[in-house]
Amino acid sequence: MSGQTQDKREGEEAGASVDRLDELQDAGDVEGLMALARAYRAGTDDIPKDLARCMDAYRAAASLGSAEAEYALALFHLTGAVVARDLEKGASHLRAAADRGSVSAKIYVANLYELGVYYARDSEKADVFYRSAARAADIRDIPTSAPYELKMADLGSVRHGLALAGRAASEEERARWMRKLRAYGYQLRPRDEAPRNHEAVATEERVAPVEAIAPPPVAEELPAAEQPREPKVEARPIVVQEAPRAGTFTAFLWASVAAGFAFIVGFVGHAHRAFLPDRIHQGVALAAIVFVLGFLVVRLSRGHPRSGRRR
């Protein structure tokens, strides 16, 4: 009988809790639903611990627009504590919570992009959510400053937290940063990939400082005998043609003399036909003209012997 009584009591409590949840949801009491969810999560004197009913309460609060409830549902799906792990549903609830202003959700989404979990790894998109989280948290420091890095790491930023863990002065400090990061998605990272500069190296989740990263090897120089030689280009003289000077002037001078002589012969022969027959002075004039033309053709075709020079 005692067992049946216990089952009956539990059934009555379950019915009462369902009635209470529906009552709060119908009333639009987000705060009441959140308080009920926290009570189910931790357990109280009146309400036993029940993560499934806790999730139901969060779901009801999320339907009324609660960013905190959306974030809590995301954690349920990402961790797989109550329901099977579902990265798609988890990411969906995270984006909804981030859109409603949840700083923790913004940081978590940024970490997913930073780590390449569910989303393709994209540092630029991670930057967008990191900056959004910093504005929502009223962080006004310069992004490259140490105070900014510390505040972002306190929010759970994987990028900034790993950098601080790598420079931790003690194992206790490093372990504290790693616990913080695991609460914001670092535990979901792909385990089989090679660690990047700011991720765990040497030991599990151990981060090397930036100064410890060796620079890439420098290519060795070849011995002098093995150095590649550039092909030699034989220099060829450039011939610069200059306009003929003395040769053209000489040709012009001789042509002028010949033309003058032909003119004189023709004029005298015409004036004194008795002195020179017509056939003679015409022949002389024709010969002078032929001589002038031939002389000019020869001189211009050959050019002056000093008309070109090499340099």
- Which are the contacts of 162, defined by CB distance < 8 A and separation ≥ 6? 177, 181, 198, 199, 200, 207
Phi, psi of 235 (to 5 degrees): -75, 125
pLDDT band at residue 9 under the 50/70/90 scheme: very low
pLDDT tens column, 154-199 = 999 999 999 999 999 999 999 999 999 999 999 999 876 655 544 4
Contacts of residue 127, defined as CB under 8 A and 6 or more positions apart, other chains included, come to 110
The domain that holds 93 is classified in CATH as 1.25.40.10
Residues 199, 131 share a domain = yes
Q: Domain for residue 50, yes or no?
A: yes
Instruction: Give the model's pLDDT for residue 282.
Output: 65
pLDDT at 82: 87
Q: In one letter, which amino acid is 168?
A: A
Task: Retrieve residue 54's tokens.
Answer: 């806790």
> Which structural domain range is residue 196 located in?
122-212
CA distances from 117 to 81, 90, 122, 168 (A): 18, 11, 10, 26
How many degrees, rounded to 5, is the angle at CA 34 between CA 31 and CA 37? 155
Angle among Cα 155, 156, 159 to the nearest 5 degrees reads 115
pLDDT of residue 258: 65
Query: Are residues 25 and 96 both part of a single domain?
Result: yes
Tell me what pLDDT residue 175 has: 96
| Nearest Cα to Cα of residue 251 among 188, 307, 303 | 303
Of the chain, the percentage scoring pLDDT greater than 70 comes to 57
Whole-number pLDDT of residue 46: 87
In-domain check, residue 110: no
Say if residue 11's pLDDT is above 70.
Answer: no
- Same domain for 40 and 87, yes or no, is yes
Whether residues 134 and 205 fall in one domain: yes
> Is 228 a domain residue?
no
- Structure confidence at residue 255 (pLDDT): 63
Write the pLDDT tens digit of every residue in 197-254: 444 443 444 433 333 333 334 334 434 444 444 545 555 555 545 444 445 556 566 6
Distance in angstroms (rounded) separating the CA atoms of residues 266 and 258? 12
Quote the strand ranges of the chain, DSSP E.
Answer: 239-241, 308-310
Query: In this structure, is residue 226 part of a structural domain?
Result: no
User: Is residue 15 over pLDDT 50?
Assistant: no
9's tokens: 């009591």
Domain boundary among 54, 70, 101: 101
223/49: higher pLDDT: 49
C-beta separation of 295 from 258 below 8 A: yes
pLDDT, one tens digit per residue, over 86-104 is 999 999 999 999 999 999 9
Tell me which of 166, 193, 212 is where a domain ends: 212
- Decide if 67 is inside a domain: yes
Q: Helix H segments across 43-115? A: 51-63, 67-79, 87-99, 103-115
218 part of a folded domain: no
Domain count across the chain: 3
What's residue 191's pLDDT?
74
Contact 108, 115 (CB under 8 A): no
pLDDT-derived band of residue 293, with 50, 70 and 90 as boundaries? confident
Please indicate, yes or no, if residue 11 is contained in any of the structural domains: no
On whether the CB atoms of residues 160 and 126 are closer than 8 A, the answer is no
This prediction's pTM: 0.60
* 71 and 35 co-located in one domain: yes
Same domain (yes/no): 194, 265: no
- Alpha-carbon distance of 112 to 186, in angstroms, equals 8
246 and 289, same domain (yes or no): yes
For residues 134 and 71, membership in a common domain is answered with: no
